[in-house]
Structure formats: C-alpha cells, structure tokens
C-alpha cells in the first residue's frame, strides 16, 4: 500500500480520496476550502496545511482541480516559486484527473519530466456517482512506464483505465468523446423536435430510429424527451446526470484544442455556441439533454 497525496477534495476528488483510503492507502489531502478538509477528515483522511506538504514524502500525488490554470499553478507554483513538482522527491508519480485543456496538460507533463518525475493525465467519465462508487472510466495519457505505475492506483478510484497514448492524450480522448456526445444530443433533439412538429409520435420515432441508421448512444441512454427512456434525466425535470455547464466546459475545451491544432470542427463549434446560449440563459444546472428546450424554442 502506498503513501499518496491528494489535492482538490471537491465533488469528485472527495470521494476519490476516500476510495483510495478505503483501498488501504495512506492519504494526505489538501483543499483550499475548509469544509472540504473537514469532510475529508471525517472520512479518515489526514489533511495538511498546503499542496506542497501533500506532495512531500509520498509515492504518488493525485490532483482533481477545476481547470488548466489551477493545475498549472498548483504544479508549477506562482511565478515559478514553489509548486508540487519542486516539493516532491524525484521519481514521484503525478496523476492529474482534472478535465483541462490539452496544451496545459502537455506543458505540465514536460515540467514534471524535466523535474525527474513521472506523470499521467487521467480525466474521468462517470460523474459524482461514479466517483462515489469507484466505477469511473479513466482515459490516460503518459509513457508506458507511467501508465504501468498508475494503473493499480487508478483501479482504486475507477473500474477501467484505458491507456490512450503519450502525454495529454487522456485529455484529447475526453474532449473528442464529449464533443461527439454534445453533437449527438443536439442531433437527437433536432430530429425529435422536427418529427413531433410534423405529427410523428416521439415514441414511434424512437422505436424506428433505435433499429435504423439514426441510432446513437445519447438517444438510447439520455433521451431528451420524457416518457421514452426510463433512466433519462428528462423524466426527472432534467435534474443531472451530466450538467449542461459541464458539457459546455468540455465543448469549449474541444474548441480550444481544435484552434490550437488548426483543425476545423464546425459541428463542435456550433454545439459549443448552442450550449453557451443555453448556459448563459441560466440553465447550466440542468442536465445537458435539456438543450432540447432551446432547440424546440421552449427555453
């Protein structure tokens, strides 16, 4: 069993740190928010006074932070002073499970390597319920050596860890997957709005499309209209599930990646715009399938 630092004990990081402790690891946690530290202590996790203290004298350090700038600041320190990479002993394994932009992930990987550490980016899919049940899917970028060391630890917080290739490729997989999901949800919302307006019962269209070429995962699992797919958020007043604000974040990351790589993703760009409109109208806390309200002109 390993000594592990864990920084970012929020909605996702809190339960992930608890699952590492449950698996028998000695976890030292840190968060900026006192309530998150208190909850961690109540769950039997040692807490420390700052991020650097969580990285000292441990074999591995997890981070679960909001976005790229937070990850850069915590790893590299403010104005090049401090930071996790400087505080850790050489050869420490870093696992960043945050969802962040590809460029920041690759920059932090390079700095970790230059400081003599191993690193993986390992963004997750599965939400808070998956974090609590240790059933997350993790998309992992990093060297074969880093993945081999990371995999047993990732298995304590998730059910599946897939090696996606070199540094940053976990983030690439996450934004490409979620860009497809956003586009498929919008396509489903448009098709069902058109069909219903033209007099076709949504349930009938669902039965036909489920065994025809329009079938897609968003339609089958997260259908945007109520009364069709039992587990869908549409049946619970669009209580998430996967919040529209999270989809919006991931679509913006896909567009940052596309711009940085010089790749045209016009449907991804349109999806990002539509979720921006929807979230800015105050709907960020609804499930992402509620975008059907915007499509149908009911938002």
Q: Residue 62 or 192: which CB sits closer to ligand NAD?
A: 62
Phi-psi region of 243 (alpha: psi -120 to 50; beta: other; left: phi over 0): beta
Query: Is residue 101 near ligand NAD by the rule CB under 6 A?
Result: no
Cα–Cα dist 101/141, whole Å: 13
- Contact map string, positions 107 to 126, toward ligand NAD, x by CB under 6 A: -----------------x--
Closest CA to 120 of 150, 161, 155: 150
Residue with tokens 């840190």: 30
b/e burial code for range 5-14 (CB count within 10 A of at least 16 → b): bbbbbbebbb
- Select the residue interacting with ligand NAD from 127, 165, 214, 226 (CB under 6 A): 127
Query: Is residue 47 near ligand NAD by the rule CB under 6 A?
Result: no
Is the bond preceding 22 in cis, omega lying within 30 degrees of 0? no
Q: Residue 127 or 166: which CB sits closer to ligand NAD?
A: 127
- Strand pairing partners for 29? 6, 47
Query: Is residue 31 near ligand NAD by the rule CB under 6 A?
Result: yes
Query: Is residue 245 near ligand NAD by the rule CB under 6 A?
Result: no
Total residues at the site for ligand NAD (CB under 6 A)?
26
Q: What are phi and psi of 247, to 5 degrees?
A: -60, -40
- Select the residue interacting with ligand NAD from 51, 61, 229, 247 (CB under 6 A): 51
Which of the stretches 63-71, 225-233, 267-275, 276-284 binds ligand NAD when contact is defined by CB under 6 A?
A: 63-71
Q: What are phi and psi of 165, to 5 degrees?
A: 120, -155
Kindly state the smallest distance separating residue 207's Cβ from ligand NAD, in Å.
Answer: 31
Kindly state the smallest distance separating residue 123's Cβ from ligand NAD, in Å.
Answer: 6
Query: Is residue 30 near ligand NAD by the rule CB under 6 A?
Result: yes
Q: Is the dihedral of CA 126, 131, 132, 137 positive or negative?
A: positive
Please name the helix (run of DSSP H) or strand (run of DSSP E) that holds residue 193, with its range, or none: helix 169-197
Query: Is residue 239 near ligand NAD by the rule CB under 6 A?
Result: no
Cα atoms found within 13 Å of the Cα of residue 228, Cβ hemisphere only? 23
Q: Residue 244 or 291: which CB sits closer to ligand NAD?
A: 244
- Contact map string, positions 164 to 203, toward ligand NAD, x by CB under 6 A: ----------------------------------------
Cα–Cα dist 174/17, whole Å: 22
Q: Please count the other Cβ atoms lying within 10 Å of the Cβ belonging to residue 210.
A: 14
Q: Residue 51 or 105: which CB sits closer to ligand NAD?
A: 51
- Select the residue interacting with ligand NAD from 4, 5, 13, 228 (CB under 6 A): 13
Positions that interact with ligand NAD (CB under 6 A): 7-13, 30-33, 36, 51, 64-66, 70, 73-74, 98-99, 124, 127-128, 246, 249
């Amino acid at each position: 069993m390993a000594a592990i630092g864990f920084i970012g004990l929020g909605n996702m990081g809190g339960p992930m740190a608890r699952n590492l402790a449950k698996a028998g690891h000695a976890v030292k946690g840190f968060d900026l928010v006192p309530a998150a530290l208190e909850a961690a202590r109540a769950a039997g996790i040692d807490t420390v006074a700052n991020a650097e203290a969580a990285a000292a004298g441990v074999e591995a350090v997890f981070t679960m932070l909001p976005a790229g700038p937070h990850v850069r600041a915590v790893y590299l320190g403010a104005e090049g002073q401090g930071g996790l990479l400087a505080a850790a002993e050489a050869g420490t394994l870093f696992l960043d499970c945050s969802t962040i932009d590809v460029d920041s992930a690759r920059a932090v990987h390079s700095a970790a390597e230059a400081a003599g550490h191993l690193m993986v980016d390992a963004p997750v899919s599965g939400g808070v319920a998956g974090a609590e049940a240790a059933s997350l899917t993790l998309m992992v970028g990093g060297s074969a050596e880093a993945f081999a060391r990371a995999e047993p630890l990732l298995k304590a917080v998730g059910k599946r860890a897939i090696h996606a290739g070199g540094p940053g490729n976990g983030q690439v997989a996450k934004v490409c997957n979620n860009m497809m999901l956003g586009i498929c949800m919008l396509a489903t919302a448009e098709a069902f709005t058109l069909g219903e307006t033209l007099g076709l019962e949504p349930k009938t269209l669902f039965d036909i499309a489920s065994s025809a070429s329009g079938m897609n995962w968003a339609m089958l699992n997260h259908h945007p209209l109520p009364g069709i797919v039992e587990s869908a958020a549409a049946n619970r007043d669009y209580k998430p599930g996967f919040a529209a604000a999270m989809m919006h974040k991931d679509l913006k990351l896909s567009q940052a990646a596309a711009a940085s790589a010089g790749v045209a993703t016009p449907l991804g760009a349109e999806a990002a715009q539509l979720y921006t409109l929807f979230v800015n109208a105050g709907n960020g806390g609804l499930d992402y399938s509620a975008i059907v309200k915007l499509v149908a002109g009911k938002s």
